[in-house]
Copies of this chain bind each other. A is one copy, B any other.
């Protein structure tokens, strides 16, 4: 088997951590000078490993293996959230470099803006599968400063460069290593997670219109309390969703806002953000039916008017069975009994690449589950173990 140089892998990760260093994490928003420096650093590493490195018109950094196939693709993203962790996507990119260093027939890619600093998000992975139009690029603006994507690309020296498109025929599949961003592995005392798929996220807004009134002068029977209607609806969802969810479904109300929000005023309006996630479209559709029925029931019971609007529906991206089997076997050989299969609740570049080729993901534990914060971390021995599992799995899969 190819030998992964885990010490060099850790050194690469720590070198990259110096670029845009923020406390123990990094601050490398997409297309900032720090981000561009990290992309140039990556191109140098790819060349070092004998790959042909390039950067394209959306900022994707690509390292092309010069030898014969069959090939695999490996990578993730290299920019970070604001003042965020040193691993996150950088881990998957540097893991790709480690596989290339070990001589595996791997192309490595760092997809631009997985973190969604720009409207649309996932610009790099959408672009490389041919699903980012020039018109979308014209429209997109920075969520940090509101300036157009085109302006940022020009300032980063990327304007006018051609955009790379993947040739699916070149690859057996795409491997992405990433931190878990949760506590499931840590709580179960496990060291690796073989991802079964990336859940779809279906996001909704519920607005409830009532009547703003004085809390003293309005009897209980007269009220059209939008805040109370929101509470009753959310309590109903809390009762009903467990009856229709899947084993690993999640559902979250991240925002409840009532207006005007003063102590002596009956809320006239409530604004709710609600989302649910699962890997199975049948389960998602069951949850949607339940949500619609609960909103309808709210409108039957209450004197307020609830309106449900879909914000977005992403597609689930199931992982490839043969690739998962290779990861299972590699994990069991290197960390027997210390791994599990699990879905990814968060979105990743792999969900877009899955539209063109088989994909699989490997999760490392996240200490205390901290993610998108500079304190994010993973034990070095777990990082080393997981890159070895990834290399071992890639080889098994290539031979399989």
Contacts and interface: CB of A to CB of B under 8 A. Distances in A.
Interface of A: 180-184, 187, 199, 201, 203, 213-220, 222, 225, 227-228, 230-232, 234-235, 238, 248-258, 261-267, 273, 275, 277, 311, 344-347, 366, 369, 371-372
Contacts of A372: 214
A342 to B, nearest CB: 9
B261 A215 contact: no
Contacts of A250: 215-216, 218-220
Contact of A199 (B214, B216, B273): B216
Contact of A222 (B184, B220, B266, B347): B184
Given A219-B184, A231-B234, A345 B262 contact: no
Copies in the complex: 2
Task: Tell which of A203, A234, A371 has the most Cβ of chain B within 10 Å.
Answer: A234
Contact of A227 (B184, B219, B254, B258): B254
Nearest to A233: B231
A253 B267 CA distance: 8
Contacts of A225: 252
A385 to B, nearest CB: 20
A273 B277 contact: no
Nearest to A251: B220
Given A187-B222, A203-B263, A369-B218, A228 B253 contact: yes
Given A181-B216, A182-B213, A254-B262, 10 more contacts: A182-B222, A201-B216, A214-B371, A216-B346, A217-B366, A219-B250, A220-B249, A230-B256, A231-B253, A235-B235
